[in-house]
Every structure is written in structure tokens, then in C-alpha cells.
Amino acid sequence: MKITVCEKEEVVIFRLKGRVLSPSTKKVLETVEEVLIRHTSSPRLVFDFREVTRIDGAGLGMLMKIHTEILPCGGRIAVINMKKHIRNVIVRTGLIAVLKCFKSEDAAVAALLQHS
């Protein structure tokens, strides 16, 4: 799996490519931790799933771990560009209630900045 990190305004965007499965979640968590060192107050994170082909329980757990770590300091997380089968997994597990899902990067950035 590949991860590309970029920023738009004050929101950090993680573009994931490939399969978000058990072995690769550690790499994502390490990348997020590196970013959080620089964004200590109210981090706003977007995960772009446009090029994600598969996600498993470890991938979903990774998203929840990130969410629970940034929530106490006012942080927020959003996911964008999910393919139908990935969205179905997130809906079936009930994570749709926790993760903010958007169709576009601009919509996610705007929503996260609105709640700064």
C-alpha cells in the first residue's frame, strides 16, 4: 500500500492506494503519528479512498484508533471517495455513524474547517 500526504488549508489529506489490510495499517498509523506531531491542536484529517481496493477489520480498527486519539483534542476525521463495496463495509460495521463521509475533497475540507 502507498500513502501520499498533502495539506489543503489546515486539513491534512492522506491518499491511500492499494489494500488497507492488517500488515499495512501499521504504516498508516506511523504516517499519521508523524503528521500529528506537527498538528497538535485540533487536527483535521481526511482519508482519500479513491484508489483503495480492499479494507479489512484491521483497516477499520486503524480508522477508529485514529479517531479516538484525535477526538479529545478537538480533532476530526473524514473519509472521501469510497467505492461502493468499501462504503458497504463501513455501513455494516456501524462506523458510518462515527466517520464523516463526503463525496469530494472540497466538501470534506470545508466541513472540517467549519467546525474548527
* Extents of the domains making up the chain: 2-114
Class of domain 2-114: alpha beta
pLDDT digits (tens, 9 = 90+) for 28-83: 999 999 999 887 688 999 999 999 999 999 999 999 999 999 999 899 999 999 99
Residue matched to cell numbers 495499517: 25
Q: What is the pLDDT of residue 50?
A: 96
Q: Residue 66 corresponds to which cell in the numbers above?
A: 485514529
pTM to 2 decimal places: 0.93
Q: Residue 81 corresponds to which cell in the numbers above?
A: 471517495
Q: Residue 60 corresponds to which cell in the numbers above?
A: 477499520
Rounded-to-integer distance, Cα 18 and Cα 34, Å: 21
- Closest by CA to 39, choosing from 1, 13, 3, 58, is 13
Confidence tier at 25 by pLDDT (50, 70, 90): very high
27 Cβ contact partners less than 8 Å away, ≥ 6 residues apart: 1, 3
Q: Residue 90 corresponds to which cell in the numbers above?
A: 463501513
